[in-house]
Structure 1
Amino acid sequence: MKRIIGLFLLFFGFANLSAQRHEIGLKAGMSNLVGDIGRTNYILQKPFNRSISEHGIPFYGGLIYRRNFNPYQSVRLDLGFSHVQFDDRYAQENYRKQRGLFGTNSGADADVVFEYNFLPVNNEQKSMLSPYVFGGIGAMVYSVVRSAQTETDKSGKKIIIAVPFGAGLKYKFNYNWALSGEFKFKPTFSDGIDYSMIDDKETRKNKTNSKDWVNSMTLGLTYSFGRPPCYCD
């Protein structure tokens, strides 16, 4: 993760030298885990009925920096924090419901993605609406805070590599402001986010070979600043 942030800072320095337009802002929404415990909905996973004190809220919040190369193409850095929950009682599979495992996990992440807008929303105009797609690479730092039906202390942190991608809709208004909503899918190279501290024979027996996904549905608000770039249409 230090290398990713270092590369970003170097990139930011070059951005200032070339006087490109920048965007900074905030994003917030809901997150969900797709793993071997609990529901497997990739998006729109409803909060569980257990008490908030037990599971918390499946939340994602973070910061956005975007450098716009031209009206269509951008590179974006997302720095965020997410809290995910997983509970077999709300799964569709019968063996999961009977097993009854549950837990939560929280952690920070950093993603660097390339973003392509289908319309020139980054151009100099008062307002415009455009869908966009994105993809890139990221790192996540997670620690287990609760395991199967047993509260535990944090057992350390682990860095996980992820490959974020997704799609969204960006609305530019009042020249410098932009509102965006997006779905981000983040398959990881780890299969232990949901039960890294759970030692259960039934879990291992029904364990799949697929890795865990940490997905999010968010809204973001950004502000553009800096000297307008010399776009060439």
Structure 2
Amino acid sequence: MKYILVLVISLFCLQSSYSQIHEFGIFLGGSNLIGDYGEPSFVNPNQVAFGGIYKWNKSSRHSWRVSGVITELELNIPDRKDSKTVGELSAGLEFNFFDFDLHHSGAQGTPYIYTGLSVLNHTNSDLKKKWALALPMVLGYKFRLNRSFNIGAEVGARYAFADDIDTSEDIGNTYNNDWYVFTGLTLTYTFGRNPCYCTN
């Protein structure tokens, strides 16, 4: 019974200690809108995008992630060029293709993917504030600068469950929803307690 108790406590310690490793940082890059009109290129950042990012690293292979980004989306409506300010909140799971152990100070790098659910605050053609759900699909690569800082580069497309982000819901293709893309860099600071089995 004593050995079982020790095993249970050890497993709990291992799991809870990983939950103490966090990352908090910034996102800086660009954005572009893929709507019914304008430039059809998938990655074509034409407006500055910036925001914050938080990760709760549950293991060396996956993290829970929350982010917020503010940007101007360039609309490219026929006969006029316009943009509007939008804000996005996103939450989901980030998966590393290779082990990315924040408890080791040596050089590390891995490609990763992220998906979850995003909520976009924007205005429609009547200048009314609206919320739209979106599905983020992000591909990136991150690198360990040192024991405290990580840097990453990513491209993330968002499929919006709405067709009025480009304000062309009355004149555009009503069968195609809008997409928007964030391209940029992340810089995060790592903090939290080492696992109980770690002596460093």
TM-score range, shorter chain: 0.7 to 0.9
Quick one: percent identity of the two aligned structures?
Answer: 28
- In structure 2, the CA distance between the partners of 1:77 and 1:223, relative to structure 1 (3 Å rule), is same
Cα deviations by residue, 1:113-169 (Å, 9 ceiling, x for unpaired):
21111121234222201111111111111125xx7xxxxxx8231010011111100
Structure 1 position 195 matched with structure 2 position 167:
yes
TM-score normalised over the length of structure 1: 0.71
Q: Provide the C-alpha distance between the structure 2 equivalents of 1:124 and 1:39, rounded to a whole number of angstroms.
A: 44
Letter in 2 for 1:109: E
1:59 matched residue in structure 2: 48
Structure 1 position 140 matched with structure 2 position 120:
yes
1:110 matched residue in structure 2: 89
CA drift at 1:100: 2.8
Query: Could you say which structure has the higher helix fraction?
Result: 1
Pairwise mapping of residues 30-41 of structure 1 onto structure 2 (< 5 A)?
Answer: 30-41=30-41
Aligned residues: 183
1:161 matched residue in structure 2: 133
2:153 matched residue in structure 1: 181
- In structure 2, the CA distance between the partners of 1:163 and 1:230, relative to structure 1 (3 Å rule), is farther
Structure 1 position 210 matched with structure 2 position 182:
no
**8 A Cα contact 1:168 1:181, kept in partner:** yes
**8 A Cα contact 2:27 2:186, kept in partner:** yes
- In structure 2, the CA distance between the partners of 1:18 and 1:217, relative to structure 1 (3 Å rule), is closer
**8 A Cα contact 1:113 1:134, kept in partner:** yes
Which piece of structure 1 moves more, 187-196 or 15-24? 15-24
**8 A Cα contact 1:71 1:231, kept in partner:** no
Structure 1 position 219 matched with structure 2 position 185:
yes
2:42 counterpart SS class: coil
1:187 counterpart SS class: strand
Flag as ranges the 4+ runs of structure 1 deviating above 4 A: 15-19
CA drift at 1:18: 7.3
2:29 matched residue in structure 1: 29
Unaligned runs of 5+ in 2: 1-14
Structure 1 position 72 matched with structure 2 position 72:
no
1:171 counterpart SS class: strand
Unaligned runs of 5+ in 1: 1-14, 48-57, 89-98, 148-153
2:82 counterpart SS class: strand
CA drift at 1:103: 2.2
